[in-house]
């Protein structure tokens, strides 16, 4: 293997360049390369060394693909110590992002120059670990315990100007990395500056009360997670230790996190987020262009899709049915963009330019003639959708991709309403569409490969997490949601309360439980789904009637101030409504059900068993390509806690035999609902996990 670390000299200066595309991760070859370069520098005549990187970024961190494998020396902590121990100055030049181990390498160097526009950070906690190459020890010594702890526990990326102000770097430069390093090094040489080791700086002061306040804030912001608090502990302990002891303590804590399932889950999420977009069948397939997007319907969904496209720099032609609706849709989009301006995410001039040049709103379908992709987001009715697609067929240019945002309808049937079913696919956005990262890309029977690839290209432009799904009622996410929500309804019929279920589910790590979610989405959504499915209901299917009463009473959730919960000034986030308990008790009495106690553990066990079982069916039927695709759908669209990795990763953690046993136990009460997925049974019998199918 060629050495990814180059060494050249320019007069008294050694230029050491890391070149390990795509992100200069500090894998074994890079670490060994830096070690060898330092040995040469130490023995050579050069008076100063500049460490910089080629390509789009400085070191983006340790090589995450090495995690969980046997360690390969030299370790990154050793490399950082070695840099710091040099007797001649070492300057580091940061461009792009110096993250995690990248920033730790920089902190091992004696001076740091940062390019304008670059960012630094210690995002390890997002991977379930802590900065393990001196980050929790050197950064506090350099900038103070509290600012360092805030950066470490929040994982935020610090922009160049702030990094300079905090003292993380010594200078900013607008030059290329090599030139910036040379210029800074020449300045040091001219001043006769010597080494300046962060490790020799005095221990940071500890304000116990401030640290306690930060600890409380971090615990509240990251319920259930261990990495943030462990990282804080490492920094705090190190503040009253020698550097050597602090590093040893950091190492010890790092190793405990490395061994935790949370680390495995977070890394599964990191790679899963990227892998979903890599479908073997699309390798080499060229997507069509996505520069101009048509959107049919300017309601919540259509407006959100429009905003997502506009923020990505695409041109949008939005169609509504009449002048009044057109004006309303435009005002809605302008309001959302205004919100982005207020939050500092969008400059006012950019917003004005978008509205003037990029957005066309009209009731004339003919305006769609140039669109590359047209996304329909009208009312969920097959007849309405077919009518829209008939019109699109007449106006869209040949080769335009025609997409439906339906959340459950049969896309094959919609495609058949056109003369070009190969150009039709589903693009299922989640509300609010400009915020939620998940995009289900639904492949119908006749969807052409380049049309599917175009869906992925659009997702990339919109910075979404795209997951390919097959056609079925609800695709991946909503199909699984219906099943675990039904499991919750069954538990309520049998004795649990919706509020207890929501509490147990939030304690598990979801931001909200299923009933609070229903209130947010609107009770009418679930009601309409149930009405739609009622005629298909099997006589053996258990069906709770009381949720329909809410709809009949006009209790539509948050929007009407009352749903499962009561929302008022006293409790804007909702408080349990005793009337709900009465409704449930009535139904139990009518059906002769004797309520029994459910522990929170049992609630989680059943809820997760239902989710995992349906997820396994979705994979077994090919609706989702791989278990990881399901995991990413639940993570990015349904609030599944990232630190648990997704339902099928979680299933592997608890063991498939155990999951199967839970399902079989529940099946003794209701063998219609609880039918074990064939794939789950097969994997359990073979002693394999879902992870074995991720490729
Ligand atoms: C750490 O440093 C631990 C130390 O404290 C202690 C050690 C003892 N390793 O995201 P992209 C791959 S923990 C291996 O699409 P972007 C990525 O999978 C680390 N691979 O690009 C993808 O591969 P593929 C702390 C990595 O421009 C390709 O590079 N650091 C790593 O949108 C392109 O990535 C972090 O957590 C890695 N560290 O974003 C930073 N990073 O093409 C993690 C990326 O096969 N990285 N890859 O799918 C990032 O946040 C983003 O990648 C970055 C670029 C912002 C750098």
Where among 259, 282, 316 does a domain terminate?
259
Q: What integer pLDDT is reported at residue 246 of this predicted model?
A: 98
In angstroms, the Cα distances linking 344 to 125, 332, 358, 464 are 26, 19, 20, 21
pLDDT digits (tens, 9 = 90+) for 61-93: 999 999 988 999 999 999 999 999 999 999 999
Where in the sequence numbering do the catalytic residues fall?
104, 124
Q: Which phi and psi angles does 315 have, rounded to 5°?
A: -85, 140
State in Å: Cα 271 to ligand 1 middle: 9
With respect to residue 688, please indicate whether it lies within any of the assigned structural domains: yes
The CATH number of the domain where 437 resides is what?
Answer: 3.40.50.720
Rounded-to-integer distance, Cα 94 and Cα 59, Å: 8
**Residues 119 and 193 grouped into a single domain:** yes
The structure tokens listed for 533 are 């499915």
State in Å: Cα 176 to ligand 1 middle: 22
Cα 128 to chain center, whole Å? Answer: 14
**Residues 498 and 595 grouped into a single domain:** yes
Q: What is the DSSP letter of 691?
A: G
**Residues 487 and 377 grouped into a single domain:** no
Rounded-to-integer distance, Cα 199 and Cα 137, Å: 8
With respect to residue 267, please indicate whether it lies within any of the assigned structural domains: no
The structure tokens listed for 654 are 């608890």
Q: What integer pLDDT is reported at residue 2 of this predicted model?
A: 83
State in Å: Cα 138 to ligand 1 middle: 22
Q: Which residues contact 495 (CB under 8 A, 6 or more apart)?
A: 593, 595, 596, 597, 598
With respect to residue 275, please indicate whether it lies within any of the assigned structural domains: no
Q: How many CA atoms lie within 13 A of 651 on its CB side?
A: 36
Rounded-to-integer distance, Cα 37 and Cα 51, Å: 10
Q: What integer pLDDT is reported at residue 530 of this predicted model?
A: 86
Q: Which phi and psi angles does 386 have, rounded to 5°?
A: -65, -40
With respect to residue 220, please indicate whether it lies within any of the assigned structural domains: yes
Residue pair 414/384 in contact by the 8 Å Cβ criterion? no
Which 3-state string (H, E, C) describes 644-658? HCCHHHHHHHHCHHH
* Residue carrying the six token digits 């005629």: 535
The structure tokens listed for 610 are 């239902």
Is the pLDDT assigned to residue 534 strictly greater than 90? no
Spatial CA neighbour of 694 closest among 642, 640, 645, 658: 645
With respect to residue 358, please indicate whether it lies within any of the assigned structural domains: yes
**Residues 462 and 491 grouped into a single domain:** no
**Residues 433 and 456 grouped into a single domain:** yes
Residue pair 159/98 in contact by the 8 Å Cβ criterion? no
The stretch 337-355 carries a mean pLDDT of: 95
* Residue carrying the six token digits 């609902």: 673
The CATH number of the domain where 228 resides is what?
Answer: 3.90.226.10
Residue pair 23/58 in contact by the 8 Å Cβ criterion? no
Where among 469, 503, 537 does a domain terminate?
469
Is the pLDDT assigned to residue 439 strictly greater than 80? yes
Q: Which residues contact 565 (CB under 8 A, 6 or more apart)?
A: 499, 515, 516, 519, 571, 574, 575, 576, 577
Where among 220, 238, 259 does a domain terminate?
259
Which residue has a Cα nearest atom 53 of ligand 1? 60
Query: CB atoms < 10 A from the CB of 311, how many?
Result: 20
With respect to residue 273, please indicate whether it lies within any of the assigned structural domains: no
**Residues 214 and 345 grouped into a single domain:** no
State in Å: Cα 25 to ligand 1 middle: 7
Is the pLDDT assigned to residue 521 strictly greater than 90? no
With respect to residue 370, please indicate whether it lies within any of the assigned structural domains: yes
Which residue has a Cα nearest atom 46 of ligand 1? 60
Rounded-to-integer distance, Cα 105 and Cα 31, Å: 10
State in Å: Cα 593 to ligand 1 middle: 54
* Buried b / exposed e along 137-163 (16+ C-beta atoms within 10 A): bbbbbbbbbbbbbebbbbbebbbbebb
Rounded-to-integer distance, Cα 349 and Cα 455, Å: 30
Which residue has a Cα nearest atom 49 of ligand 1? 60
**Residues 89 and 153 grouped into a single domain:** yes
The CATH number of the domain where 584 resides is what?
Answer: 1.10.1040.50
Please give the model's pTM, rounded to 2 decimal places: 0.94
State the chain's mean pLDDT as an integer.
96
The structure tokens listed for 18 are 């890391």
Q: Which residues contact 266 (CB under 8 A, 6 or more apart)?
A: 126, 127, 128, 227, 642, 643, 645
Q: What integer pLDDT is reported at residue 532 of this predicted model?
A: 85
Confidence band for 1, pLDDT divided at 50, 70 and 90: low
**Sign of the alpha-carbon torsion through 566, 570, 571, 577:** negative
Q: What integer pLDDT is reported at residue 68 of this predicted model?
A: 83
Q: Using the atom order of ligand 1, give the atom closest to the CA of residue 135.
A: 5
Q: Which domain holds residue 677?
A: 477-693
The stretch 200-225 carries a mean pLDDT of: 96
Choose one of 64, 137, 266, 466 to mutate for the ligand 1 pocket test, by most ligand atoms within 8 angstroms of C-beta. 64
Residue pair 354/405 in contact by the 8 Å Cβ criterion? no
pLDDT digits (tens, 9 = 90+) for 597-631: 999 999 999 999 999 999 999 999 999 999 999 99
State in Å: Cα 657 to ligand 1 middle: 34
Rounded-to-integer distance, Cα 167 and Cα 445, Å: 58
In angstroms, the Cα distances linking 402 to 284, 358, 426, 452 are 22, 20, 8, 11
**Residues 631 and 532 grouped into a single domain:** yes
Spatial CA neighbour of 502 closest among 600, 622, 369, 606: 600
Rounded-to-integer distance, Cα 424 and Cα 641, Å: 33
The stretch 214-237 carries a mean pLDDT of: 97
Which residue has a Cα nearest atom 10 of ligand 1? 274
Q: Which ranges constitute the DSSP H helices of 495-599?
A: 498-508, 514-521, 523-533, 546-552, 578-591
Q: Using the atom order of ligand 1, give the atom closest to the CA of residue 23.
A: 29
Rounded-to-integer distance, Cα 684 and Cα 695, Å: 18
> CA end-to-end span of the chain, whole Å?
25
**Residues 598 and 456 grouped into a single domain:** no
In angstroms, the Cα distances linking 120 to 47, 107, 160, 163 are 27, 11, 8, 8
Is the pLDDT assigned to residue 306 strictly greater than 70? yes
Rounded-to-integer distance, Cα 72 and Cα 606, Å: 42
Residues with CB under 6 Å of ligand 1 are 22-23, 25, 57, 60-65, 76, 97, 99-101, 104, 123-124, 127, 131-133, 135, 274
Choose one of 30, 31, 60 to mutate for the ligand 1 pocket test, by most ligand atoms within 8 angstroms of C-beta. 60
Q: How are beta strands 158-159 and 111-115 bridged, if at all? A: unpaired
pLDDT-above-70 percentage for the chain = 100
**Residues 651 and 583 grouped into a single domain:** yes
Rounded-to-integer distance, Cα 418 and Cα 386, Å: 8
Which residue has a Cα nearest atom 30 of ligand 1? 61
Which residue has a Cα nearest atom 56 of ligand 1? 60
**Residues 180 and 299 grouped into a single domain:** no
Q: Using the atom order of ligand 1, give the atom closest to the CA of residue 65.
A: 14
In the chain, how many domains are there?
A: 3
With respect to residue 264, please indicate whether it lies within any of the assigned structural domains: no
**Residues 375 and 515 grouped into a single domain:** no
pLDDT digits (tens, 9 = 90+) for 391-421: 999 999 999 999 999 999 999 999 999 999 9
Q: Using the atom order of ligand 1, give the atom closest to the CA of residue 63.
A: 9
pLDDT digits (tens, 9 = 90+) for 446-480: 999 999 999 999 999 999 999 999 999 999 999 99
Q: What integer pLDDT is reported at residue 541 of this predicted model?
A: 92
């Amino acid at each position: 293997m060629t050495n990814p670390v180059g060494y050249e000299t320019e007069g008294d200066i050694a230029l050491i360049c890391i070149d390990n595309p795509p992100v200069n991760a500090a894998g074994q070859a890079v670490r060994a390369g830096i070690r060898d370069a330092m040995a040469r520098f130490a023995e050579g005549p050069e008076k100063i060394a500049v460490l910089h990187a080629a390509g789009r970024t400085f070191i983006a961190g340790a090589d995450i693909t090495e995690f969980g494998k046997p360690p390969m020396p030299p370790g990154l902590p050793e490399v950082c110590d070695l840099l710091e121990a040099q007797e001649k100055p070492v300057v580091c030049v940061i461009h792009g992002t110096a993250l995690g181990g990248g920033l730790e390498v920089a902190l091992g160097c004696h001076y740091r120059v940062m390019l304008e526009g670059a960012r630094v950070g210690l995002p390890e906690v997002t991977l379930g670990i802590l900065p393990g190459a001196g980050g929790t020890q050197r950064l506090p010594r350099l900038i103070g315990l509290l600012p360092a702890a805030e950066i470490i526990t929040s994982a935020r990326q610090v922009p160049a100007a702030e990094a300079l102000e905090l003292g993380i770097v010594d200078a900013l430069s607008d030059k290329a990395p090599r030139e910036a390093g040379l210029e800074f090094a020449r300045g040091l040489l001219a001043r006769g500056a010597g080494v300046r080791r962060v490790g020799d700086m005095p221990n940071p002061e500890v304000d116990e009360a401030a640290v306690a306040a930060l600890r409380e804030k971090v615990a509240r912001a990251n319920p259930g997670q261990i990495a943030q608090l462990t990282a804080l502990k490492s920094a705090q302990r190190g503040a009253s230790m020698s550097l050597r002891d602090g590093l040893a303590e950091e190492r010890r804590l790092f190793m405990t996190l490395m061994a935790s399932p949370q680390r495995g889950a977070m890394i599964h999420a990191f790679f899963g987020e990227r892998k979903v977009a890599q479908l073997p069948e699309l390798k080499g397939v060229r997507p069509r262009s996505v520069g101009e997007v048509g959107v049919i319907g300017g309601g919540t969904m259509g407006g959100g899709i429009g905003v997502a496209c506009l923020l990505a720099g695409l041109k949008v032609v939005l169609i509504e049915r009449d002048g009044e609706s057109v004006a309303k849709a435009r005002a809605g989009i302008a309001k959302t963009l205004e919100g982005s301006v207020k939050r500092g995410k969008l400059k006012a001039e950019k917003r004005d330019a978008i509205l003037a040049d990029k957005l066309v709103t009209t009731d004339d379908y003919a305006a769609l003639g140039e669109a590359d992709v047209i996304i329909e987001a009208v009312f969920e009715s097959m007849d309405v959708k077919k009518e829209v697609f008939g019109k699109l067929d007449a106006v869209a240019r040949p080769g335009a991709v025609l997409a439906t945002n339906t959340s459950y309808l049969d896309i094959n049937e919609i495609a058949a309403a056109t003369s070009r079913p190969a150009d039709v696919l589903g693009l299922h956005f989640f509300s609010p569409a400009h915020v939620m990262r998940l995009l289900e890309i639904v492949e119908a029977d006749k969807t052409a490969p380049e049309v599917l690839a175009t869906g992925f290209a659009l997702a990339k432009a919109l910075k979404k997490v795209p997951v390919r799904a097959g056609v079925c009622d609800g695709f991946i996410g909503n199909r699984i949601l219906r099943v675990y929500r039904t499991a919750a309804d069954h538990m309520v019929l049998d004795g649990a309360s919706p509020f207890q279920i929501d509490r147990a589910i939030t304690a598990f790590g979801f931001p909200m439980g299923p009933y609070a979610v229903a209130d947010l989405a609107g009770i009418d959504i679930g009601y309409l789904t149930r009405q739609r499915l009622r005629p298909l209901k099997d006589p053996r299917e258990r069906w709770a009637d009381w949720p329909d009463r809410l709809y009949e009473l006009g209790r539509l959730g948050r929007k009407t101030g009352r749903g499962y919960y009561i929302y008022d000034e006293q409790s804007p986030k909702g408080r349990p409504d005793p009337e709900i308990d009465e409704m449930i008790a009535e139904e139990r009495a009518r059906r002769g059900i004797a309520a029994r106690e459910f522990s929170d553990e049992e609630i989680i066990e059943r809820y997760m068993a239902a989710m995992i079982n349906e997820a396994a069916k979705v994979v077994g039927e090919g609706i989702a390509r791989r278990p990881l695709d399901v995991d990413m759908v639940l993570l990015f669209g349904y609030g599944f806690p990232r630190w648990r990795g997704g339902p099928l990763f979680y299933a592997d953690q608890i063991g498939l035999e155990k999951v199967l046993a839970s399902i079989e136990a529940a099946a003794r009460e209701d063998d219609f609902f609880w039918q074990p997925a064939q794939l789950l049974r097969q994997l359990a019998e073979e002693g394999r996990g879902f992870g074995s199918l991720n490729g």
